[in-house]
Structure 1
Amino acid sequence: MSIEKTGSAVWQGGLKDGKGSVSTQSGVIQEVPYSFAKRFEGESGSNPEELIGAAHASCYSMALSMVLGEAGLTAERIATEAKVALEEVDGGFAITRIHLSTVASIPGADQAAFKDAAEKAKAGCPVSKLFNAEISLDARLEG
């Protein structure tokens, strides 16, 4: 099976004085503005790193749900945050690490089974497989 989805961006102008917009095929994100100041100077607005973080957090949560299901468990709730680090490296910038934090409420799960499922999901998540960055994880079971 092969599935293709599209994200797109338009950029106008130079690096520091230019501006752009980002959109998704579904239209959920439609011409959301981004710029150098939004990415590097803390100006409010979107940037590639937060979009990568949202994609990774959503993919990881789905992967964890799948692994739990394979173990006969169903989560009431999985909440995941992906913190993406963009750092200056060798005169350029690179995403050097992503830290996943997930909190889940899973009836009947014990800590050992949850931790095992969380690690399997981190390794098996399609977005995790995409990155060469270090990907760390904190996984906490509620209740």
Structure 2
Amino acid sequence: MAASLQNRVADLTIEADAQQVRHASIWLAHCGAEFGVPESEINRLDLCLNEALANVIDHGSPAALASPIHIHLDVQLGEEAWEATVTVSDAGLAFDTTSATAKTRPKTLAEAEPGGLGLVMIRSFSDWLGYRYHDGKNHLSFSVRWPPAA
């Protein structure tokens, strides 16, 4: 991608609590709109964000649940493509979502179990997915891309 023409960033810190997920969605919608991210792309990011936060809250270790979750939005408006990246950082046990195996689809309704589709959703709604474990924290990043405005 060509050098960035503009780079806009925003940060939010929330508690690992289901009530805070809505607050994070509102923040993302507000910042995304302010930074020029199309509504359709904000919606894709929001689906990924909700799944990532649900994973921390539902599957996080005691350390993850006792520590704040940091959310970083980075919007780059380049010459050839525009991109918005959200990074969710939590203090849980290391879990690389980029290499985790997605749950296999059941062959029958009787084999179906609730849950297990969060990673599938994040992978399908994002254009890029990245992970790193650094300084005792998971850093899950996901991006969406769209063509520049005419």
Which of the five TM-score ranges fits, normalised by the shorter chain? 0.3 to 0.5
Structure showing greater radius of gyration is 1
TM-score, normalised via structure 1 length: 0.37
Q: Which has the higher strand share?
A: 1
